[in-house]
Each structure stands twice: as C-alpha cells, then as structure tokens.
Chain A
Amino acid sequence: MTAPRSIELICPAGTPAALRGAVEAGAHAVYCGFNDETNARNFPGLNFSREEMAEAIKFAHNHGAKVLVALNTFPRAGTFWRWSKAVDDCARFGADAVILADLGLLDYAARRDCGLRLHLSVQAAAANADAINFYARTFGVKRVVLPRVLTVQEIAAINREIDAETEVFIFGGLCVMAEGRCSLSSYATGKSPNMNGACSPASHVEYREAGGHLVSRLGGFAINRVAAGQPAPYPTLCKGVFEAGDYKGHVFEDPVSLDAAALIPQLNEAGVTALKIEGRQRSRAYTEAVVRSFRRALDDHAAGRPIAAGDLRALTEGQQTTSGAYRKTWR
C-alpha cells in the first residue's frame, strides 16, 4: 500500500458559533450558507447573514481554515438575481469556494470569472466521470461532491478518469435518493430541497397520539408510528414506514445515518481529496465533537496508526448507522 495522501476534512456550520467550534476542533475547511433559500439547509434560525459570513471567513482564514459557501439550491425562475448576488458576495468576502448545483448559476459564476473556485454540489448528482468532466470542462469546476449512489470501487474508477478533485460524505444524515433529483418532500408538503432548501420541513410536521400510539405526520401523511411514550423519530419522508404490496416497513431506508469512518483507508486509496461531514442543522457541541473525532481519525491514518473504532458511535445518538452505497450490497 502506498503512503496515505493527506485528506481534507470538510465540516458543517449552521451558525457562526458552530463555525468557530469546527475550526478550533481541527476542520481543514468549513461549509456554510446564507440565511435564505440559496442554500439546501434553509432552516429557521440557521445560517449566516452577509456580515456574519464576512467575519466568519476572516476568522477561518486567521486560523488556517477555508470556508466553502453552499449556494446549492436551484434558483427560482424570475429571482435569479438573488443567487447571482450571493455568488458576487462570496467573491467579495474572499470565500475559498462556492458550492453550486444549477447549470445557470454555474454558467454565471464561470463567466463572471472572479477568481472564485467552483465546487459542484452533491445536489447536481454528477454520478460518473463523463458528467464530472462536462462540469470541469464547461465551467472550470475544480471539485465535485459525489452523490451517495456510488460504491468505493466506482469512486476509485471515477478518480482515474477525471481532472477534478472529489469530496464524499463520511458521516451524518443520509439521502437514499440521488440528491437534487428528489421531489418527494414537495409532493407531500409543497416545500422542496431544490427550490426552498428544506426537506420534510418542520412547519409541516405533526405528532398526534391516538389509540396508544404516537403518529408522526408530514403534510398530513402518516410517516411513522410508535407506542405512546416512546421517542418518535422525526418524520423524514424517505425514512418512513410504508406498505408496498406484501411488504410493510421502511420501504426506502431504515432510520439510519451514515458512518463510513471505517472506510477512510479505502476512500483514501480511491483517490478522494476530501471527506465531508453532514449536519449544518446540528449544534455547536455536536459539530465540535464529530470534527475532533474525525480529525483524530485522519491524523491517525496519515501517521500509519490504526483508526480507533467505536469512538464515533456515541455521536449517532443510539441510531443505527450504515456505510450506505459505498458497499454494493446496500443497493
């Protein structure tokens, strides 16, 4: 085996405090968004004002970390200016990259030629080398966040064929659908990740007790049922319990989250440049703990030490975890 290349750790920040926490805990880069519908985690009380973003970038740079700004929703027709202005502001603030998904916005950013590094969001779902090369050639995209539909072997094959860096999700929430190509949430609620930056939004969630059970609903559709008194899972649509023919259960995915820490060596071998932690909606304490743990794992790996197992289990809050599509049997 060749000596491990160094891997970048990309950490989420939903607030300026979480950003500072992530940087202090050892993040190589932090990704975050503005407090509007230009980013795919547009939740109440989260994200950065223009002023906060400018300060956060200064803080990160002073501590040797990068800031990647996610502008990864699809601009609403007639209000494209809101997204193009966000690109302009990122350039002005000295962001290290913008993470984009929309063809029109990529075209705008590439033409504007303002020196901003362009990353392709997972929301663009570029799932093979040809698609990635199209974005790299056409817009000068330097890095691609890979959709969560690929095995480690497929990721390695992609890296042999492309002229861009790859970034993959390593920990946190898990989409089971190709991201950016899912309108399940807007079918049930009218709010979509692509347009509004929110999946299964809390504004459409309802918990109601009936017949000794607590039923959680999304947009009026029953998504989960537990015995009264038991903790009710948040009704994320694709983690719900449904009935399909003779099958009754988690038709799409169990209520699991992604933990691919054990695959760090293989992902490194596969030529991945950066590992991404999901969870801009999480607290500062959570973010810090996850970042610290992953930074230690990466440092151990880089030094040729085995990666300590089990360290991260406490952070999944008792949830089951999966390595998702990285292993072929998941499909």
Chain B
Amino acid sequence: MAESNFDLTLGPLQFNWPAQKFVDFYAAVADEAPVDRVVIGELVCSKRAPFYADRLPEAIERLERGGKQVLLGSLALVTLERERRAARETFDQTAHEVEINDLTLMNWVRGDKPFSVGPLVNVYNEATLAFLAGRGARRVCLPPELPFASVETIAKASRDIGVGIEVWAYGRMPLAISGRCYHARARGLSKDSCQFVCDKDPDGLPTKTLDGVEFLAINGVQTLSFKYANLILDLDRLADAGVAGLRLSPHSGDFIAVAKAFAGVCEGRISPQEGLFRLRRAAPQAEFTDGFLFGDCGAAPLPAF
C-alpha cells in the first residue's frame, strides 16, 4: 500500500502482569517499538494498581527518553471512593495528557488542558464527538464495536473540529465491564477475596462454548473477545476515511514485532499481506478478526485473500 500518516498508539495494558514483566515490557517499547503515543495506567481493576504503582515513574521516564508521548489512562469503571480520588488525582497531579475511559473524569477536565478519550467511552456519533471536542478532547479512540460506516462519518466530522480519530487496530477487544469479577467467580472466589487469580492469564482466560469453540476471554471484571482485532489489511480504507491513528493493545509474546509490522505497512515498506504474515508469526495462537468494522459481527473471521 501507499505510505500513510497514521500515528501508532500503544493502548493501556489490559492484563495483570507481574511488576517486573510490566517494567520490562515498557522498557522494550521505549527502546524498540515504533509507536508514537503510549497510554499507561490501570484500565481494568483498581486492585491491581498497587502492584506496579511505584514502578510507573521509571516506565514513563524510559518511554519519554525513547521519544514517545506518554498519556495517563484512567480506570474504565469508577465506583469506589478511592477510585474517585485516584480519578481526580490523575487530572490534578500530572503534567501528562490524560486519556479518559469513564465520564467521571469529565468533572476534572479544564478548557486549557487537552485530553484524549479512550475506547470505553461511548462515542457513537458526530454530536457526541462535537460535545467532547468542545470540552477539550483532541484525540478519540472509537469503541471497537462501531461499523466502518460510522467510523467514516465520525472521522469526516473530526477534520473540521481538530480532533484525531483512532481505531482499535490490534488485540483482544474490550466487550464488557462489570461489578463482578469473573476470574474470581470461575475459581469459586469473590471480588473482595480474589487472591489476584487473574495474574495466571497474561492474555486473559479463554472461554469456550459448549461446542469447544473459543469465544471470549475473561480478564477480571472485564470480558474480552477471544479473537484479536487485526486491521492490518484495512489500512488503505481507514486512511481514505480520514482515520488518524491506530491503537495496538499490548499482549504477551513478541509485541515489538507487532508494532514493527504495523509501522512497516504504514510506511509502505512491506505489503499488508507480509504484515499479516508477520503478525501471525508474532502471535501464533491468535485468531484474527476485523468483523466489527467490515463483517457481519464482531467475531467474523478475517476474509481470505
């Protein structure tokens, strides 16, 4: 494909990784991954945050030394008192741009400090986009469930109001968030006494149907798609639509290779087919889909080419 001007954004880690793995991952991203922006911070469960909170500053510093723009990402579902406090502090105590994933944070946005909007905020149309832009949003990653026609319409509207539109281009997609922890439930525990069993599954716990079909992946209070979104064959269409950025969501395995494959196709150095081949090699266990955008449903397999 022709060269395109997508930014690559590394989304926040969705999984519960040990602190050292967390730090090592972001160090490798800082040094080797050809991404422009990195969103960092706990998205899924506030109980996980203390495990790596004291390692965050070094991870951020390393990423900035590596030339990445670092954004602090918010929690997806804010209910507890300490979560509200943390949400407020995210805005008040940082010089970094914030990516909001819960509208709770709209309380703390100020006109003089631009912010980003993550894929867990419901931006389904141009009116919502315009509202958020009016409050200072300058980048919006759309919810993964949007069909391409909606992406096109919203991206078109974004040009006139100075907001960049991003789409979920790689990784297991967030499908639901709950008050209940399914990792704990699957092990006969409750959320309050969860023993952090979600740390056993670095990419989520695959969940099969009665037929043995891999269907979903459980990640604590979050439910993900079993399939990985993969839009590497669709970059021309996305560029034509005016999409500004691609979001890559962290997974275990060779994630640097994933970022390089996307960068290679964006820069026109390798073909989309070669990019797909490299993604298959980087994540041999993954099944890929672009179904929400281009198929009958979110789980539709990638078309053969």
Contact = CB atoms under 8 A, between A and B. Distances in A.
A329 interface: yes
A242 B209 contact: yes
B131 A104 contact: yes
A219 B128 contact: no
B155 to A, nearest CB: 9
Given A183-B298, A242-B215, A150 B127 contact: no
A246 B188 CA distance: 11
Interface string A253-264: 100000000000
Contacts of B69: none
A187 B227 CA distance: 10
B187 A247 contact: yes
B180 A104 contact: no
Interface in A109-147: 124-131, 133-135, 138
Contacts of A104: 125-131
A126 B79 CA distance: 9
A315 B291 CA distance: 40
Interface stretch (A10-18, A51-59, A63-71, A172-180): A172-180
Interface stretch (A19-27, A189-197, A269-277, A284-292): A189-197
A192 B177 contact: no
A107 B104 CA distance: 17
Interface string B110-149: 0000000000101111111111100000000001111001
A134 B106 contact: yes
B125 A77 contact: yes
Contacts of B186: 244-247, 251
B205 A222 contact: no
Which DSSP category, helix, strand, loop or mixed, fits chain A's interface?
Answer: mixed
Interface residues of A, number: 70
Contact of B79 (A128, A180, A252): A128
Interface in B269-305: 291-292, 295-299
A136 to B, nearest CB: 11
Given A77-B153, A183-B143, A225-B210, A149 B178 contact: yes
A194 B176 CA distance: 12
A245 B146 CA distance: 30
A176 B296 contact: no
Greatest chain A CB density within 10 A among B88, B107, B178 is at: B178
A292 B267 CA distance: 66
Given A183-B143, A219-B297, A222-B211, 10 more contacts: A76-B150, A78-B149, A104-B128, A125-B77, A133-B107, A183-B145, A187-B145, A190-B295, A224-B210, A331-B179
12 contacts: A75-B124, A76-B124, A103-B131, A126-B103, A133-B107, A134-B107, A148-B179, A178-B177, A180-B122, A181-B120, A187-B299, A243-B207
* Nearest 6 Cβ contacts at the A-B interface: A104-B127, A149-B179, A187-B298, A190-B297, A74-B124, A104-B128
Interface of A: 74-78, 80, 101-105, 107-108, 124-131, 133-135, 138, 148-150, 154, 157, 176-178, 180-184, 186-190, 192, 194-195, 215, 219, 221-225, 238, 240-247, 251-253, 325, 328-331
